[in-house]
Structure 1
């Protein structure tokens, strides 16, 4: 699958960054990427959709090589940035049905994570607004901003593009937090099933779908603002404009060194999510973070759609569902690439907040950790 390849290039880059870069550029070539920017998902259904992680992978490969050699390959970043820009535009045009920065995408690589097959097209006017689809696009926007900033430090012509992705991240963050994907009762992000003429139905499944929002986090050092004056000026204007007009502004905070944190998740919601993430009765297992909360072992979730009853329960071994052939199970097992993203994101939050933010680990243990 396309997103599997993106993860694999991270490991490859440690031994052979040139080959890793080649693999990322190869799938962006015209014989794989459609002219409209769509990437193929996997060999048995090119038209399906994987999470957009290739910008993240490109930056990781770039950083690995830069650490090894002392200098980064800006030409590589410029080449892949151009193709990823087309891919980002494809997502905006094709997977945002209502033009409100709430994204769909279907199964998004998570096979049987949903109570029903998220690729299924139900009868009537139904739409599945996806918490993970929207979060992945927030992550995509931040990764593209980070890439544009890195290039702009050597080529100022990319400065405006960095601003564009910063602004788009703000709009996606507003949609995720202000729409209806956050459930105040459960303190969790859920997919929402929308049926014309009926009240929206949050699918109250506590899974990695609701934790994907943690992945969209980045910091901008003060040195960037000092060097990219237009970028700094535009962000300052955009913040002033939105706050003056009582519009949403994301979790933007400054450290003592004036480093800026950008995150899809506000600090209070971050704490709520971490409480669940680090709860041994929910997501935290001896082997890592479960894809589906263990809570659903005793409390399966059911919903009736089109007069059909669908049920999901914690299922930690071989899959007992036949979604996607039954050979891939996201209803409990630990998936290492997702755990890698969880760890990397928590490290970013930890480096920024330091001693100012502590949570129990495990939840309920009394052991407070940064």
Structure 2
């Protein structure tokens, strides 16, 4: 339990105790920690290229990643309620009660996609330059096979290891929903909640989650942000980064079946490019000369003194791309500059 951000994304207030002594097992909390471990491992490995003392720190973060990812596989499994819902093909939070009963929070949201963010690739050529980390890495693979089997894969493509918290089946199922315009794929990025819930709200004990692509309809966490449909830059950017890493690991060996029947299967790289293009398109002029970011604001759309002054909104309407929330959220929405630099060359 505990507050993890993503303010109102859940049907529950995740910062308060649940009635009846329930305990919330959260797939995004576990996924975030796996991602953080890999990010810190990568930072330590980069520092170790100049100062070998950081190799032991990289080992520590790698070990933490393995423990977290392995725990994610086991959570609730022995009691018959794992976080992965094989029927729905999605990760869902689970409420576990003292008497052994449970409820699955069957909401398709970013909560169930966060495990995809825990992805990293290690090449043998890189490992050979880091002898202490290489030694510890190999020891862990050889002596903790029951743990690494779930989250470290060798020779996916080329001579490299793929570190990921999801298996191939889960990856396929999740990314098919990610690339489905009826679910998470907006013309302007990655929706925070599946559009499926527009017609299929999820209700739990009288509380409801439905697809709200614009401003929030509830006042949870103050009501001044909304994770029930809008596009947010940081999470779409992290999806792009994960797809880029998976693309390098798998190359052409794996493609995701396109949910749109007439479209061919799509590679990880093309998905990453597609999301980058969608985020950039929020700010560029369409054929009619209008910018999605400014929606129906005619002053910013047409006034010659304002039309070329770009505001970096906090989040964006899940269907129209218009800017919402704070209008100077440059800290993460400014990532569009990085996307233009990397993907529009």
- What is the TM-score of this pair, normalised by structure 2? 0.71
* 1:201 aligns to 2:136 (yes or no): no
Shift of 1:162: 1.1
Mean CA deviation greater in 183-192 or 227-236? 227-236
2-structure distance, mates of 1:347, 1:289:
15
Alignment match of 1:327 (pick from 214, 217, 224): 224
Q: Per-residue CA shift, 1:75-125, capped at 9, x if unaligned?
A: xxxxxxxxxxxxxxxxxxxxxxxxxxxxx332x221110012111223442
Q: Per-residue CA shift, 1:180-217, capped at 9, x if unaligned?
A: 21111111111111221131222110000100111111
Give the aligned partner of residue 217 of structure 1.
119
2-structure distance, mates of 1:196, 1:359:
40
Q: 1:235 to 1:287 in 2, by over 3 A?
A: same
User: Does the CA-based 8 Å contact 1:115-1:310 persist in structure 2?
Assistant: yes
Give the aligned partner of residue 167 of structure 2.
266
User: Does the CA-based 8 Å contact 2:70-2:147 persist in structure 1?
Assistant: no
User: Does the CA-based 8 Å contact 2:157-2:250 persist in structure 1?
Assistant: no
* 1:252 aligns to 2:153 (yes or no): yes
The one of the two structures with greater contact order (alpha-carbon pairs below 8 A, sep at least 6) is: 2
- What is the TM-score of this pair, normalised by structure 1? 0.67
Give the aligned partner of residue 316 of structure 1.
213
Shift of 1:325: 2.0
Q: Cα RMSD between the aligned structures?
A: 1.8
Unaligned 5+ runs, structure 1? 1-103
Q: Per-residue CA shift, 1:192-243, capped at 9, x if unaligned?
A: 1122113122211000010011111111122222122222222222122222
Matched position secondary structure for 1:368:
coil
User: Does the CA-based 8 Å contact 2:66-2:148 persist in structure 1?
Assistant: no
Shift of 1:363: 4.0
2-structure distance, mates of 1:364, 1:211:
23
1-structure distance, mates of 2:216, 2:239:
23
Q: 1:175 to 1:330 in 2, by over 3 A?
A: same
Give the aligned partner of residue 71 of structure 2.
175
Shift of 1:366: 3.1
Alignment match of 2:256 (pick from 349, 356, 359): 359
Give the aligned partner of residue 284 of structure 1.
185
1-structure distance, mates of 2:36, 2:2:
14
Unaligned 5+ runs, structure 2? 76-81, 268-345
Shift of 1:364: 3.1
Q: Per-residue CA shift, 1:309-362, capped at 9, x if unaligned?
A: 211111112211111222211111111221111111111111221110111345
Alignment match of 1:147 (pick from 27, 32, 43): 43
Question: Any residues of structure 2 matched to 1:225-244 within 5 Å, and which?
Answer: 225-243=127-145
User: In proportion to residue count, which structure has more helix?
Assistant: 1
Q: Per-residue CA shift, 1:231-264, capped at 9, x if unaligned?
A: 2222222122222x58743142325541221111
Give the aligned partner of residue 198 of structure 2.
297
1-structure distance, mates of 2:65, 2:137:
12
Q: 1:365 to 1:177 in 2, by over 3 A?
A: farther
Paired residues, number: 261
